[in-house]
Amino acid sequence: MSKKIDATDVTEEEALNAVFFERADEFIKQANDFCRPPKGEKANPDELRGQVSAAMLFATARFNTWVAANTFKNGEEMRDAKSEVMSYILQQFQMMLEDNFDEYCEQFDNYLRFRKNEDFHTHKHDHDDTDHHHDHSH
């Protein structure tokens, strides 16, 4: 998405789509920056990614709640619409998550080709390992 587009050549929808991905890329870039351990510290990459993922999920939940709140006249009206709003947001998230998950499955070797061996832990999916809570982080 880094190549600049000539605004006269694109429809409004295409322009909005480009802005959508530019914003998403900025959020991902910020998350990636948070995943870098502080200078001189050797951090557990899985643990750090999990923490960043959790913070990002919380921020997304918080921001989406604020966006929704701005569409209501009071807390009571907002409460009445809770299930409708929740369903919509969760449906959107599930769709985006499924699309990205499927894409990563297809492109696994390509997308993870730069992964360092020390970043990959064979015990990641061992559900008996109570010290790691990856289920909700990634």
Mean pLDDT of all residues in 86-96: 97
Residues 52 and 25 in one domain: no
Number of domains in the chain: 2
Dihedral over alpha carbons 63, 66, 67, 68 (to 10 degrees): 120
Q: Is residue 39 part of a domain?
A: no
Q: Are residues 9 and 65 in the same domain?
A: no
pLDDT, position 108: 95
Residues 78 and 125 in one domain: yes
Owning domain of residue 4: 1-34
Predicted pLDDT at 90: 97
49 close to 137: Cβ distance less than 8 angstroms:
yes
> What's this model's pTM, rounded to 2 decimal places?
0.72
13 and 64 housed in the same domain: no
Helix (H, G, I), strand (E, B) or coil at 49: helix
Q: How far apart are the first and last CA of the chain?
A: 24
Residue 108 lies in a domain: yes
